[in-house]
Amino acid sequence: MDSLNKLKQSVASDAVTQDSGLTRRSFLQMGGLGIAAAMMPRWSLAHIDSGFAYHYRLTAEPAKAELVPGFTTDVLAFNGDIPAPVIRAKQGQPVRIEFTNKLNEPTTIHWHGLRIPIEMDGVPFLSQKPIMPGETFVYEFTPPDAGTFWYHPHMNSTEQLGRGLVGAMVVEEAIKPDFDVDEVLILKHWHLDKKGGWKALTRPRYAARMGTPGEWGTANGVNNPRYNFRPGSRVRLRLANVDNTMTYQLRLKGVKAQVIAIDGNPVLNPFPFEGHKIGPGMRLDLAFVMPEAAVANNKVVLEYQLGKFGFPIANFASTSESALPKKPLPKLAMNPIPVPDIENAETLPFVFEWEGAISPVDEKGETHDTFWLINRRPWQGMGPGNIPDPVADLTLGKSYIFDLKNNTQYHHPIHIHGHTFLVLEIDGEPVTPFYTDTVLLGKNGRAKAAFVADNPGRWMYHCHVIEHMKTGLMGYVKVS
Ligand SMILES: [Cu+2]
């Protein structure tokens, strides 16, 4: 319990520091300084000049993109762009996103990992009505936590996410840590052939197993992009796995990096990065100092590993500029997430299992395969008349330990909305507690994850392998 006490102290003291930072910040803004536009990375979404600091217009629309060089692919894109624009918000400051649906089907937008009110969670029927083609819905919320998050539709997800509607959302700290480079990489394997033509996004045979993998690997929409950093730069690399299917076993060659945040949330003590798995929906923030060109042999490579082999995701080269003076890597403040009361927490078991059931066709002639179950129950296809009972009825303010058990041979990244888990145990072994919104269960894996049910509403609780979710592995918890 010693580690939990340390965590509690750190969360409390960081919250005080960040609060005083916020006060100073709002004071500066009243003085007319506003937001420094020059700080915005090149592909961040532009602010609307409305006097409201974090005000954006976002669309989802059909577009064309060159993913495989030399070929054009019909995609679905936010503001018509691949990669989707990074949405920048600030911890403790309201953000307003005027979203217009320019698709020819309904949609909603979910802000993955943000602890915000249920009305803004972007889940059809549970939290809002679907946004119909041509309609605009205004999402407005104040992110309590800083970090690397992401956004995506929560309707027809295999298609809408699969064809490109996936973007990063960066919530900056109330007091910004002093990195020289802050780069976002969104990782996605597209279901494309060598000429940029679409292949099947889902096949029942794979949906019932690990999910259907795409074949064209990209970071920020580009296969193995190159980034150039000045030697000595203190780099913060924000990695987000926005893939429908892939779990990436990551490694970094050519430099020693530190893990500074997992799934958006700073870790209490950064630790050396020696490989890490991120399942669909998960993120990882790394920090490193860019080596001199000669030391790095001109290249630092981010790879994912399959068996013995490494495949490049992105590479980083040192520029020929003189090295920046040595400075220590900045430390991130802990997010103000309540530390659960473990002694008095109620433990709830959740078993994730496989069943093979090809359902008969429905009235529209479509089949709805069911392959996956939570506590012996599948839920697939959301509709106004298709909301089952919650998988758990939680009392507002109470602490819970979810005892997660994967009785299958495949990975399941288990995601909860509106709350953030504190992971206590993995595969029966205690771990240094860390916060996450998505717990990756390995083959026949187990995990114990605790949280305070402090956000009232009906919150999705599902696997983030999209085909698993769509074929049964989803449910919701009710907090009241
Ligand atoms: Cu799954």
pLDDT in tens, 173-229: 998 999 999 999 999 999 999 999 999 999 888 888 889 999 999 999 999 999 999
Does the pLDDT of residue 400 top 90, yes or no? yes
Instruction: Considering only residues 379 and 145, tell me which one the structure prediction assigns the higher pLDDT.
Output: 145
Q: 170: CA distance to ligand 1 center in Å?
A: 26
How many alpha carbons lie under 13 Å from residue 144 in its C-beta half-sphere?
15
Q: 378: CA distance to ligand 1 center in Å?
A: 12
Residue 289, beta-bridge partner list: 234
Q: 465: CA distance to ligand 1 center in Å?
A: 5
* CATH annotation of 185-318: 2.60.40.420
CATH architecture of 342-479: Sandwich (2.60)
Q: 99: CA distance to ligand 1 center in Å?
A: 29
Does the pLDDT of residue 34 top 70, yes or no? no
Average pLDDT of span 128-145? 96
Q: 309: CA distance to ligand 1 center in Å?
A: 24
Q: 390: CA distance to ligand 1 center in Å?
A: 19
Instruction: Considering only residues 466 and 471, tell me which one the structure prediction assigns the higher pLDDT.
Output: 466
Q: 158: CA distance to ligand 1 center in Å?
A: 13
Q: 66: CA distance to ligand 1 center in Å?
A: 30
Query: Average per-residue pLDDT in the chain?
Result: 89
Q: 42: CA distance to ligand 1 center in Å?
A: 35
Q: 467: CA distance to ligand 1 center in Å?
A: 8
Q: 383: CA distance to ligand 1 center in Å?
A: 21
Residues 170 and 261: beta-carbon distance below 8 Å: no
> Which single residue is written with the structure tokens 């040192």?
318
Q: 159: CA distance to ligand 1 center in Å?
A: 17
The rounded distance, in Å, linking the Cα atoms of 455 and 77 is 31
Does the pLDDT of residue 329 top 80, yes or no? yes
- Tokens representing 113 are 């990992």
Q: 473: CA distance to ligand 1 center in Å?
A: 7
Least confident of 229-243, 253-267, 285-299: 285-299
pLDDT of 2 reads 77
pLDDT of 38 reads 36
pLDDT of 366 reads 63
pLDDT of 477 reads 94
- 407-456 confidence digits (pLDDT tens): 899 999 999 999 999 999 999 999 999 999 999 999 999 999 999 999 99
Residue 290 DSSP class: P
Q: 374: CA distance to ligand 1 center in Å?
A: 10
Which band of pLDDT confidence, cut at 50, 70 and 90, is reported for residue 379? confident
Q: 353: CA distance to ligand 1 center in Å?
A: 10
Residues 310 and 261: beta-carbon distance below 8 Å: no
Using a pLDDT cut of 70, give the percent of the chain over it: 88
Q: 244: CA distance to ligand 1 center in Å?
A: 10
**Phi, psi (deg, nearest 5) at residue 39:** -80, -10
pLDDT of 206 reads 85
Does the pLDDT of residue 35 top 70, yes or no? no
Does the pLDDT of residue 296 top 60, yes or no? no
Q: 111: CA distance to ligand 1 center in Å?
A: 20
- 57-87 confidence digits (pLDDT tens): 999 999 999 999 999 999 999 999 999 999 9
pTM to 2 decimal places: 0.91
* C-alpha torsion sign, points 386, 392, 393, 397: negative
Does the pLDDT of residue 132 top 80, yes or no? yes
Closest C-alpha among 166, 102, 112 to residue 137: 102
Q: 165: CA distance to ligand 1 center in Å?
A: 20
Does the pLDDT of residue 378 top 90, yes or no? no
Q: Considering only the top CATH level, what class is 2-175? A: mainly beta
CA 78 to chain CA centroid, Å, is: 16
Residues of the chain with CATH 2.60.40.420: 2-175, 185-318, 342-479
pLDDT of 368 reads 64
pLDDT of 44 reads 67
Q: 336: CA distance to ligand 1 center in Å?
A: 29
